[in-house]
Amino acid sequence: MEAKWQSMVNHVQDIHEHGTPAFPCCAHPPLEGEARDKEWLEPGTTAAIKLERVTLRTALVKDVRKLSPQHQTYSLEAFHSLIIHFAPKHTGFSFLGMYSRLLMAALHFNHNSSREVARTSDGEVRYAVRYPRFCKGGWVVRPIKEKPSYAYAAALMESLSEGYSRSPETLRESSAVLSSTAPAPLSTSCQEIAKDEAVGLYLARHSRFNTGN
């Protein structure tokens, strides 16, 4: 990825042999006709030098090394958004409550991640126009997917019912084991302090700002 990115500086100067083992030459076929008749940057000119300084900055090249040629983070971002649906940030949950909601979010996401695009009665793909914030007033067109399915919930309830019918005690034991694995609240790791002492320290810290009293 780094070699390909660096080759771009050569390409815009009509240099297509790069001399690097990872990417020795441009991937395009020999340029002919209109593809060759372009206004290339002249090597050594101010424009070429400035472009090289911008594109080959150390910090930027380090980021390029981390790019994936195949995978994107869209699905991961969609899953994180789904977690907020199952576990809203404005509500506090216990450890087991949050754990359960994360599992439900994963079940829902996996069950619906391969949905087909929605179609009209005539078989045409349905589209929607969106106005995302990053477009700053612009718009994008995206195909509409079929509505999500909740069949996994029915399967989960059926499995739970069957398990309870076979052995209620086994379910109780599993629930007890899960509850015992819950970590202690984060507040227990804090060192407690007497309220009077805390208030005294607070007033001492802020007394220097109350010079008018």
Q: 162 lies in a domain?
A: no
Q: 180 lies in a domain?
A: no
Q: Which of 111, 127, 122, 7 is nearest to 55 (CA)?
A: 7
Same domain, residue pair 49 and 86: no
Q: Are 55 and 41 in contact (CB under 8 A)?
A: no
Q: 193 lies in a domain?
A: no
Regarding predicted confidence, which is higher, 2 or 188?
A: 2
Q: 87 lies in a domain?
A: yes
Kindly report whether the global pTM for this prediction surpasses the value 0.85.
Answer: no
pLDDT at 91 over 60: yes
pLDDT at 213 over 60: no
Please enumerate, as own/partner, the contacts of 51-58 that have beta carbons within 8 Å and a separation of 24 or more: 51/9, 51/12, 52/9, 55/5, 55/6, 55/8, 55/9, 56/6, 56/9
Q: Are 25 and 10 in contact (CB under 8 A)?
A: no
Q: Give residue 126's pLDDT.
A: 94
**Residue 191: both structure tokens together:** 């060192």
Q: Give residue 205's pLDDT.
A: 86
Q: Give residue 60's pLDDT.
A: 94
Same domain, residue pair 10 and 61: yes
What is the C-alpha separation between 128 and 139, in angstroms, rounded? 10
Q: Give residue 34's pLDDT.
A: 85
- Our count of domains for the chain comes to 2
For 135-170, the pLDDT digits (tens) are 888 898 989 999 999 999 999 999 999 988 999 999
Question: Of 43, 65, 87, which residue constitutes the final position of a domain?
Answer: 65
Same domain, residue pair 83 and 55: no
Range of the domain at 30: 2-65
